[in-house]
């Protein structure tokens, strides 16, 4: 992927920002993984302290997509760990955004995938399989829909209704 700057995207797309087609997430996500800059079409997932559906998705071919996980903002356990980071890398996911926590941070940081999360917690999640896929989710102060585009770099995370020209 060519270098992409979210600040530049904001500067050159003022109309998209003003009409809500381009939104920035609140700046409360920490950066993990080797990819500091990543983008791709979004797959949404809504779970709460349960990562069975997270694993299910990351076991499929990512094809450059980004998995956006609305974990309800819970920091009581992790939804993504080192094994899932490795799955994401091996299956071609561009990135993962977790409205919740990760664990096995050193292992995730060794993976060639972009990961953003609220923080880390060594506790694992439950394994009940509860949740919803491909539904609108509220993450980082904005509504995110399946199929929209995510752009992330060290400055932040942008959500666009359509693919932006880089």
Give domain 6-160's CATH superfamily.
Answer: Ribonuclease E inhibitor RraA/RraA-like (3.50.30.40)
Mean pLDDT for the chain?
96
Residue 130: other Cβ atoms inside 10 A: 13
Q: What pLDDT is recorded for position 165?
A: 83
Q: What pLDDT is recorded for position 80?
A: 98
Inform me whether the pLDDT recorded for 124 exceeds 80.
Answer: yes
Ordered by start, the domain boundaries in the chain are: 6-160
Q: Which helix (H) or strand (E) holds 157?
A: strand 156-160
Contacts of 62 (CB under 8 A, 6+ apart): 88, 91, 92, 93, 94
| Binding-site residues for substrate | 81-84, 103
CA dihedral 82, 56, 153, 48 (to 10 degrees): -90
| Binding-site residues | 81-84, 103-104
pLDDT digits (tens, 9 = 90+) for 40-96: 999 999 999 999 999 999 999 999 999 999 999 999 999 999 999 999 999 999 999
Q: What pLDDT is recorded for position 166?
A: 66
Q: What is the mean pLDDT of residues 23-39?
A: 97
| Binding-site residues for Mg(2+) | 104
Q: Which of 135, 118, 162 is nearest to 29 (CA)?
A: 118
Across 56-105, the runs of DSSP E, i.e. the strands, are 66-70, 78-80, 95-102
pLDDT digits (tens, 9 = 90+) for 91-119: 999 999 999 999 999 999 999 999 999 99
């Amino acid at each position: 992927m060519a270098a992409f700057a979210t600040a530049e995207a904001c500067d050159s797309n003022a109309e998209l920002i003003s009409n809500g087609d381009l939104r920035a997430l609140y700046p409360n996500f920490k950066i993990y993984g080797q990819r500091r800059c990543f983008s791709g079409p979004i797959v949404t997932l809504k779970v709460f302290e349960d990562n069975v559906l997270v694993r299910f998705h990351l076991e499929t071919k990512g094809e450059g997509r980004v998995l956006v996980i609305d974990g309800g903002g819970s920091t009581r356990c992790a939804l993504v760990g080192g094994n899932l980071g490795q799955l994401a890398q091996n299956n071609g996911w561009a990135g993962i955004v977790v409205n919740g926590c990760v664990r096995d941070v050193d292992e995730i940081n060794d993976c060639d995938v972009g990961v953003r999360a609220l923080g880390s917690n060594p506790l694992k999640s439950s394994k009940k399989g509860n949740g919803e896929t491909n539904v609108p989710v509220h993450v980082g102060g904005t509504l995110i829909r399946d199929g929209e585009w995510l752009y992330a770099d060290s400055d932040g995370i942008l959500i666009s209704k359509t693919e932006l020209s880089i």
